[in-house]
Structure 1
Amino acid sequence: MKVEVQIKKLIKPSAPTPNHRRKLNISCIDELQHPGYAGFLFYYRVDGENHEDDILQRLRRLEESLSETLVSFYPLAGRYVEEGLFIDCNDQGVEFVHTRVNGQLDHLLRGDFDTDLLGCLSEFPVGLAGNPLVVVQVNVFECGGLVISLRSCHKLGDMSAMATFMNSWATVCRSRTNELASPYFGLSSLFPGKGSEATRWLPLRGGVKFMMNRFVFSGAALSRLKSAAAKQVRISRVEVVCALVCKVFVTMDRAKHGRLRPLVVCQSMNLRGKVNLPIPTDAFGNFYTMVVARHMMDPDNLNLEAFARAIHGTLATAKARYAAVADGESCVDMVRDSTRESKEWAQNDGENVVAFSSWCGFPFYDIDFGWGKPDLVSNTCIPVRMVFLIDSKSEGGIDAWINLSQEEKVLFEQDPDIVTFTS
């Protein structure tokens, strides 16, 4: 499929940001984030006829409602000033890109997810200096189907924050209302920035081309997995998927290296509702941590239950530690330590490192711009081995989006547990 850019413009807030809101200091946790962009894609099949007229109306309404939404989410239209560690809320705008794709959306949804194509459906700036903090790309297929991508600078906010923005934008577009309350943008007052040394990130290792692959765990399959994995403890859907994926990666790694190497698991954990600190429920920004654990697995006991115990125990311990946090400085110290540790493991070739990011529980499938809820939601492509977990559209299921090399992809798909429990 060929993706051709039709329009590229900046969408500014429909009303100017007041002078007293023009500077937004980022928090200490924001400082720790990679300066790159992260995001997701929403896939909408066409409904009805007269595609061309409908598309023009939809594009116009998307632009208008985005402009209206940015009045409440004004930092998204600003620019990051690295020297001062703040966002200049100057209303320069969010980048809005409209493309045409010479293909059918169903061919993409029913076939392999071509990593190069998905990259074209979700472009993003190279470098942060002077560039938009958010890029929206609306891809129009020949059938009239749409893929809407959102890329945002990670220093601006985490995926929970951006899910809030997308739902707010969809509400404005669908309901034609601009009566949105601004989120709480004051996390820097709770976690003041310090110019942390953790802002230095090494470049990603090159040389390996990763492909994005979707493995679907139905609700029924997850129930069977939990029954098989949890003989003594009650584990979550996310934990059991992580356990199975780790089991497969350990099997592959052992076959490749001829020995059982230590397993290092890095998992993101949303801190909202997990700390006893006065964090407003509508706080916008980064408020998550990485949970890192090194496991020396028993070579004679590599069953699913053993991996489930390891994953569940690590997350339970992390939740207990953060629940006991008594002040913001202690919380930041813990987040900083875990971020540093995860960065160090990311550059480690000597052990078997598996990284997870779970977006389960975020209301992605409620994002209705006025023409129905998405048929599929995926993450965008990144050039590292990574596992992203997103709720399936079907009730109780999970989609595991896994970046793998071609060699890993073949082995992963052939694993008996993957064949049994996924589609």
Structure 2
Amino acid sequence: MFECTGSNLSRNPELTGRLTSMKIEVQSKKLIKPSAPTPNHSRMLNISGIDELQPTLYSGFLFYYRANGENQEDDIFRRLRLLEESLSETLTIFYPLAGRYVEEELYIDCNDQGVEFVHAKVNGQLDQLLRGEFDPDLLGRLSEFQMGAAGNPLVVVQVNVFECGGLVISLRSFHKVGDLSAMATFMKSWVTVCRSGTHELASPYFELSTLFPVKGSGVNLTPPLLAGVKLTMNRFLFSGAAISRLKLAGPKNMRISRVEAVSALLCKVFVTMDRAKHGRLRPLLVCQNMNLRGTVNLPIPTNAFGNFITKVVTRHTMPQSGPDFEELVKMIHDMFANAKTRYATIADTESCMDMVKDSAREYAERVKSDEVNVVNFSSWCGFPLYDIDFGWGKPELVSNVCQPARRIILLDSKTEGGIDAWIILSQEEKVLLVQDPDIVAFAS
């Protein structure tokens, strides 16, 4: 088992105490089924070879909505009913999500059993959470779900209602069903149905398995899990101005992205922490998921639903002088540029699948070593998560859920040009992280 606790650069003991004492009481739990039955000819959906590589974990995000002054009790129940009804209508189009995964046969039984929908009541104010410490133990209870049992729902939604009328809506999804791009498409479709109905929606393409059939790779992209370690989840905001300063400190005559600049700084911080922990400079292994949509020159439908991602990995031996920011920026920039060039030259789906499997195999082998400092990134930047508006306004904040793995999630922040870095790591490393001069200088 793992335990998550929270951290901010500065702690407010009074707020922290109120947050940890918040009670979350489940009011109801039900299965939401598609509003129309799935046709018999669509009842079985094979997973793709890329789906097969994904970990048997649930990933997800939380959307935080402030009260708008109209949230009387009857309005809350109206919203809950609207969410349930629109989810049911959306599942008619995204019908595999209402099914169940048959692990032995590697397919989804599209049996319309439904998505789990939980309504919970929180005895606190949403502002206490937004202005106080982000306690991931509390965040975990806002998206609580017992994973691992056979026959589990593939998607779990939890609507948390605060005393002020504010809402936190969480969504967890089984990774073998779809990547972030797929689930962001689902969320965008759900809010569209909630506001205006299904007439604006186009049916997704669910047949990636015909392009990338399962061939039994024997590889799994599960990140190194930390058992028996007290983990922390920490949020750091890199403003647009801070990222501009980072770019200026990078290599001259190189056009670098916001993600590359922030990733390089965090790699520098993680190298410093690793040296303090181990007493020496270990080689750095940077791992990042890369979306293949728009990268490969193959006839893949733009509305393809499922996993269409690859893992990119680069290894860097640290000089004795320590980590150099410019060098780390160049390393990460080249990692992405080289991967994009390789995938852009692919001529057929079989070659693409082979390359994705080779990348997965390289990742699985390299992260096994105890002699490297592994830094796992996932960038959600560029996905319009702050546009998830069910009809009562855009979210005040979007976050990921805590998982038992040392990793960094990058999201576009609500402020123009900024990036939120959500960092999961051990309690021991957190002490070093919050004191790092680069974190203090560039993150708020």
- TM-score by shorter chain over 0.5: yes
- Counterpart in the other structure of 1:175: 196
- Alpha-carbon distance in structure 2 between the residues aligned to 1:151 and 1:288: 19
Q: Do residues 283 (structure 1) and 307 (structure 2) align?
A: no
CA contact (8 A) 2:54 2:222 kept: no
Distance 1:50 1:257, change over 3 A: closer
Tell me what 1:357 maps to.
378
Spell out, residue by residue over 1:209-245, the C-alpha distance to the aligned partner (whole angstroms, 9 max, x if none): 1111100011111111101113231110000111000
Partner secondary structure for residue 267 of structure 1: strand
Partner Cα distance (1:222, 1:199) in 2? 34
After the TM superposition, which residues 335-354 of structure 1 pair with which residues of structure 2 at under 5 Å, given as runs?
335-354=356-375
Structure 1 residue 108 corresponds to structure 2 residue 129: yes
1:80 alignment partner, one of 86, 101, 124: 101
Q: Match for 1:7 among 28, 31, 39?
A: 28
1:123 shift after superposition: 1.7
| CA offset digits 1:272-304 (Å, max 9, x no partner) | 000011111110000001111110122226221
What residue in structure 2 maps to residue 416 of structure 1? 437
Work out whether residues 69 and 178 of structure 1, in 8 Å CA contact, stay in contact via their aligned partners in 2.
Answer: no
Q: Does 1:394 align with 2:436?
A: no
Q: Please tell me whether the aligned partners of residues 85 and 195 of structure 1 are also in contact (alpha carbons under 8 angstroms).
A: no
SS of 2:112's partner is coil
Verify the 8 A CA contact 1:36 1:128 in the aligned structure 2: no
Aligned partner of 1:123 among 113, 132, 144? 144
Post-superposition offset of 1:343:
2.6
List gaps (5 residues or longer) in structure 1. none
Q: CA deviation at 1:51?
A: 2.5
User: SS of the counterpart of 1:123?
Assistant: coil
CA distance in 2, matches of 1:373, 1:205: 35
Cα distance in 2, alignment partners of residues 267 and 384 from structure 1: 14
Residue by residue over 1:26-64, the C-alpha shift from the partner in whole angstroms, topping out at 9 and shown as x without a partner, is: 110001111111111000010013431221111000000
How has the CA–CA distance of structure 1 residues 361 and 203 changed in structure 2, closer, same or farther, with 3 Å as cutoff?
closer
- Paired residues in the alignment total 423
1:244 corresponding residue in structure 2: 265
Cα distance per residue 1:147-203 (max 9 Å; x no partner):
000000001000110000001001111224454221010111110112331259698
Matched, 1:133 2:148: no
Instruction: Report the Cα offset of residue 334 of structure 1.
Output: 1.5
Residue 306 of structure 2 aligns with an amino acid whose one-letter code is G
CA apart distance, 1:323: 0.8
Secondary structure of 1:197's counterpart equals coil
Tell me what 1:24 maps to.
Answer: 45
Query: Which stretch has the larger CA shift, 116-125 or 149-158?
Result: 116-125
Deviation per CA, 1:373-404, whole angstroms, max 9, x where unpaired? 00000001101110000000111110000002
Mark the CA change 1:421 to 1:177 in structure 2 (over 3 Å): closer, same or farther. Answer: same
Query: Distance between the aligned counterparts of 1:341 and 1:103, measured in 2?
Result: 46
Output the amino acid matched with 1:240: A
Matches within 5 A, 1:148-163: 148-163=169-184
Q: Which runs of 5+ in 2 are unaligned?
A: 1-21
Q: Is the 8 A contact 1:41 1:148 kept in 2?
A: yes
- Would the aligned equivalents of 2:99 and 2:113 in 1 still touch at CA under 8 Å? yes
Among 58, 62, 68, the residue aligned to 1:37: 58
- Letter matched to residue 190 of structure 1: L
Name the TM-score, length of structure 1 as normaliser. Answer: 0.97
Please name the residue that 2:72 is paired with: 51
Say if 1:50 and 1:362 are closer, same or farther in 2 by CA, change over 3 A. Answer: closer
Alignment of 1:300 with 2:321, yes or no, is yes
- 2:353 pairs with 1:327: no
Match of 1:271 in 2: 292
Q: 1:217 aligns with which of 223, 230, 238?
A: 238
Aligned to 1:67: 88
Aligned residues: percent identity?
A: 73
Residues 44 and 75 of structure 1: is their aligned pair in 2 closer, same or farther, counting only changes over 3 Å?
same
SS at match of 2:187: helix
Counterparts of 1:55 and 1:342, CA distance in 2: 46
Q: What is the aligned partner in structure 2 of residue 373 from structure 1?
A: 394
Question: Aligned with 1:395: secondary structure?
Answer: coil
The superposition leaves residues 301-321 of structure 1 with CA deviations (integer Å, 9 ceiling, x where unpaired) of: 622111101111111111111
Structure 1 pair 129/43, CA: closer, same or farther in 2 (3 Å)? same
1:310 aligns with 2:331: yes
